[in-house]
Amino acid sequence: MDKAFNFESFDIKLETDFIGRNFIYIEEIDSTNRFLSSSNEKYDNGTVVLAEKQTEGKGRKDRVWLSARGLNLTFSILLTEKKIILKNHQLINLASSLCVALSLENLYQLHPELKWPNDILIDNRKICGILIESTSKGSSLEKLIVGVGLNVNQAHFQGDFRIEPTSIKIEVDENVEREKVLAEYLNCFEEVLSKIKSNPSWITSEWRERCRMIGKRIAVTEDDKIRYGIFTDISEDGFLLLRNGSKVEEIHFGDISVT
């Protein structure tokens, strides 16, 4: 059963200074990312938009994100601080998925695995997907939006999925408090953002520890093109380093799988 989002219980647990302090709750919308990217309103840095139902939840390119009403967390975070978005936008990719892993470890002692660039899996099943969108006017980044879809209390998934889905409820065998999960994630996100500025290598090393594909032979697929090689490491900026013979290539995007 879905349960209305309890703002008080969320607010008590939120310990941030700016992430989620401007909080917008919407019953139904096309996409929370689009809400923030297309709005002419100047929302504060750290604004969070949570929707109970997205009618056009987005994945990469033209893929969609499906989520049942009121059971999960689908939200977007707006970042406008130039210091972060101009210099460290790539690390936000890793940081946003690392925070999901840290939150699930802290709250439920789960052992999530991170899949490059930013999927979160539990026993090879996808529990969370992240899509980051930014807009730039001319040559300068204006704003960056981190969209997170986290499966919380959904117990059944219908449809065809590229990767089989799971949820926190399926993993821990009980309903969990969405407010607690969201507050934990946002608390962690703010902390990790400050780490990006003070100690960026912490992000890459924590991320690496949770990625089980490093060292394995993988295939990188993008449209009709497949590249093979050894996933040797991630670069300081978070790009995938693929070794083929003596050549190491920096991969910017694509779907990866172990071969």
Partner 1 sequence: MDLNYIKKLVRIVDESGITDLEVDENGVKVKIAKKIRAANVPLQTSVIPQVPMTAEVIPQPIKPVPEKTSTEESKHSNLHEIKSPIVGTFYRAPAPDADPYVQIGDSVGVGTVLCIIEAMKLMNEIESDVSGKVVKILVENGKPVEFNQPLFLIELS
The verdict on 198 binding partner 1 (CB under 8 A) reads: no
d(CA 165, CA 124): 9
Contacts of residues 1-4 at CB distance under 8 Å and 24 or more positions apart, as own/partner, are 2/52, 2/68, 2/69, 2/70, 2/71, 2/153, 3/70, 3/178, 4/70
The residue from 21, 169, 180, 195 that contacts partner 1 (CB under 8 A) is 21
Shortest Å distance, C-beta 155 to partner 1: 27
Which residue, 52, 109, 43, is CA-closest to 77?
Answer: 43
d(CA 83, CA 142): 11
The residue from 93, 151, 166, 167 that contacts partner 1 (CB under 8 A) is 93
The verdict on 131 binding partner 1 (CB under 8 A) reads: yes
Q: Which is nearer to partner 1, 69 or 89 (CB)?
A: 89
d(CA 18, CA 21): 5
Please report, for residues 133, 161, 195, 238, the alpha-carbon distance to residue 90 in angstroms, rounded to integers and kept in the order given.
Answer: 11, 27, 14, 6
The verdict on 231 binding partner 1 (CB under 8 A) reads: no
Shortest Å distance, C-beta 139 to partner 1: 4
Judged by CB under 8 A, the stretch of 80-88, 155-163, 172-180, 203-211 that binds partner 1 is: 80-88
- Binders of partner 1 in range 210-229 (CB under 8 A): 223
Q: Which residues bind partner 1 (CB under 8 A)?
A: 7, 11, 17-18, 21-28, 37, 41, 44-45, 60-62, 80-83, 86, 89-90, 92-93, 116-118, 130-141, 144, 223, 237-239, 252-253
